[in-house]
Structure 1
Amino acid sequence: MEKEKKIIGRTDKVDFPLLELKDIDAKVDTGAYTSSIHCIDIREIDQTLQCSLLDATHPEYNGKRFTFKNYDISAVKSSTGNVEMRYAIRTQITVFEKTYPITLNLSSRDDMRFPLLIGRRFLSGKFLVDPQLENQSYNQKL
């Protein structure tokens, strides 16, 4: 018997417990394979990856520096068809009060409305997406 999938909307607010981030605005995008978070100033220094998270709606997180010891570099095809090398980290995400592992590409999303994009690699097998809905997980938390 297949376990029932939660219905997630086109946007939501999610938490990253290991990064101590709460209520981060996310766009759910079934067209994107991977998930990515908006970072700038991404640098590799002494076998660590450093970056600053940007999220203007959270002044307490905006510009916060992060350091990661475990990370990968992967080729990612953008929506315009360009292939870029991007850093990726593995962390945890909390959605519908349940915590899951997730891989996030670090990228500058300056031109995007949402600091976080959740792609189908994470969604697959866990969620069904209803584009008419928003903040299903966040509203349940409240």
Structure 2
Amino acid sequence: MNYPDEVHGKTVIGWREWAAFPQLNIPAIKFKTDTGAKTSCLHSFRQDLFMKGGKQWIRFGIHPIQKRTDIEVFCEAPVVEFRNVTNSGGDTEERPVISSRIILGELEWDIELTLTNRDSMRFRMLLGRSAMEELLVVDPAGSYVLGRKKGSLYYK
């Protein structure tokens, strides 16, 4: 299917796409768009809080490729705040929030991400509406509209 590059000045994306987070050393991660979620969410495990330069930081691991817990990337970022988030099952969890630069196709901007363990979930990341509203519009029938990144970036 052919897609217009933009609709109302916004870039068209599909229900699932690939992104990169250079500040977190994540060259590629597949995400699902979630217009029902206000904030984006990133998979993490082994979260460790620490102080750096008088600010609270978090060190965490991520399995960037679904079904591949043998591939691990470790990240560090300042904690913006802690936020109570209600998941799709109705459970509320206090999660750390970080801010990071995202690269999606030709676009690059900063978004907030909550961190939680998503090992049991199909996607390692959800892109919430607050990260999308100014720049993106979602075609629910589209998939990898901006192209397919290679999960093979993690294989040697």
Per the shorter chain, which TM-score range?
0.7 to 0.9
Cα distance in 2 between the residues matched to 1:65 and 1:113? 20
Cα distance in 2 between the residues matched to 1:51 and 1:98? 26
Gaps of 5+ in 2: 1-6, 150-156
Amino acid at match of 1:26: F
Greater Cα shift, 117-126 or 61-70: 61-70
Describe the SS at the equivalent of 1:138.
coil
Q: TM-score, normalised by structure 2?
A: 0.79
Within a 5 Å distance, the mapping from 1:1-142 to structure 2 comes to 4-46=9-51, 47-56=56-65, 62-139=71-148
Cα deviation 1:61-106 (Å, max 9, x = unaligned): 9322222234321111111222210011100001121111100111
CA RMSD in angstroms, aligned pairs only: 2.3
Runs of 4+ in 1 over 4 A off after TM superposition: none
Amino acid at match of 1:124: E
Gaps of 5+ in 1: none
Amino acid at match of 1:134: S
Q: TM-score, normalised by structure 1?
A: 0.86
Describe the SS at the equivalent of 1:121.
helix
Describe the SS at the equivalent of 1:132.
coil
Describe the SS at the equivalent of 2:36.
coil
Cα distance in 1 between the residues matched to 2:8 and 2:110? 18
